[in-house]
């Protein structure tokens, strides 16, 4: 297994009213969000993003961290599992001209509405059945995605990431370290079906044979 490292350190921090969200969120909201359709990306805020649009302030500060950590150059290939509309890949391709980028996402809506230059490079697909041959990518990145699967499928998704990467990967998942953080996660969570204590996640990674790096999303 790799190391716990925050490669999203430079991702802008967003203030969240977690208690309000927890008080107003319903099971119907979760059901709608879990379809990952228009309602999740570009519908009402209670169902997801409330409008998922490109803004360079989010990923442009992060890409240099990825570039330095993984030593990315124009000769490398990167897969984004859970790429949504391809915004992170767009910024990566701009910063590192010539790099090969691919993305996969469960949402056909997101793929259909991907940022224009990434449309040829992204496709609909499941994280637990990645449509690529073994050792296809130098680096695989998956941000806040595989925890949206049930535990069995989440385990398989980790194995799939391991299968298609050549040795380097980075994932983030919903997690908690204290009872207070667990309460916040329960209030915040809209789509995650698998979230655990950080120590449980580490054991889960080992069970899957996952050797990449990782970090946590904690609201």
- Residue spans of the domains in the chain: they are 18-217
pLDDT digits (tens, 9 = 90+) for 1-34: 899 999 999 999 877 666 666 667 889 999 999 9
Angle, vertex CA 4, rays to CA 139 and CA 96, nearest 5: 30
What's the confidence (pLDDT) of residue 21?
Answer: 62
Distance CA 219, CA 16 (A): 8
CATH topology of domain 18-217: Rossmann fold (3.40.50)
What's the confidence (pLDDT) of residue 74?
Answer: 98
What is the mean pLDDT of the segment spanning 34-41? 96
Nearest to 193 by CA among 34, 80, 35, 49: 34
What's the confidence (pLDDT) of residue 16?
Answer: 67
What's the confidence (pLDDT) of residue 121?
Answer: 98
**C-beta separation of 199 from 177 below 8 A:** no
Question: pTM (2 decimals)?
Answer: 0.95
């Amino acid at each position: 297994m790799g190391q716990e490292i925050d490669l999203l350190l430079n991702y802008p921090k967003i203030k969240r009213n977690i208690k309000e969200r927890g008080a107003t969120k319903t099971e119907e909201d979760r059901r709608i969000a879990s379809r990952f359709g228009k309602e999740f990306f570009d519908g009402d805020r209670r169902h997801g993003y409330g409008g998922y649009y490109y803004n360079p302030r989010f990923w442009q500060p992060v890409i240099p961290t990825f570039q330095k950590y993984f030593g990315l150059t124009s000769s490398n290939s990167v897969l984004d599992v859970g790429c949504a509309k391809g915004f992170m890949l767009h910024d990566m391709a701009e910063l590192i001209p010539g790099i090969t980028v691919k993305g996969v996402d469960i949402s056909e809506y997101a793929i259909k509405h991907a940022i224009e230059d990434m449309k040829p490079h992204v496709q609909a697909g499941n994280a637990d059945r990645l449509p690529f041959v073994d050792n296809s990518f130098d680096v695989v990145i998956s941000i806040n995605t595989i925890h949206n699967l049930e535990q069995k499928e989440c385990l398989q998704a980790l194995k799939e990431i391991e299968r298609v990467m050549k040795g380097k990967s980075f994932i983030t998942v919903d997690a908690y370290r204290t009872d207070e953080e667990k309460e916040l996660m329960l209030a915040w969570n809209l789509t995650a079906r698998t979230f655990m204590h950080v120590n449980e996640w580490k054991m889960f990674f080992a069970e899957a044979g996952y050797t990449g790096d990782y970090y946590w999303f904690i609201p």
